[in-house]
Amino acid sequence: MTGKAERTYIRDLIDAAIAERPIRDEQHAREFLDNFLLSDRCALITAAYLGELRTPNGIFLEEDEPVNRYTITGNTDGWVIPPEKHAECLFAKAERLAEYYHNFLRCAKNSGYNLENF
């Protein structure tokens, strides 16, 4: 999945993560994430965390805080969740990952967010 593309579309990433279930342990999560570019790994972690938040109004976008694939993880300018912790985070959410990704997609739709920008 890591080709010439700069990043993978988030729905494709989510589909791959859902198909990979059950994620048995942290090593399995690491092996799965190793198939993707760093930006894609950040997108998977961010989408899971945002989906876990389950906002009451079903939206996650605020005009002054745009959502992107680094909203939760941070990036090379300042990691909040560094790359070496991505597998641990994904495994920690593995049991409810499908639910979290569903919530993320629902919030994006309700927010009018174009997932092509994520």
Q: What is the pLDDT along the chain (118 residues), one digit of tens a residue?
A: 444 457 899 999 999 999 998 999 999 999 999 999 999 999 999 999 999 986 666 776 565 567 899 999 999 889 999 999 999 999 999 999 999 999 999 988 888 889 999 9
Rounded Cα distance between 63 and 114, Å, is 14
- pTM here? 0.88
CA distance 69 to 45: 8
Alpha-carbon gap, residue 55 to 40, rounded angstroms = 24
Asked whether 46 and 96 are in contact (CB, 8 A), the reply is: no
The residue among 2, 18, 12, 7 whose CA lies nearest residue 42 is 7
Whether the CA torsion 81, 24, 16, 100 is positive or negative: it is negative
| C-alpha dihedral (87, 80, 11, 48), degrees to nearest 10 | 70
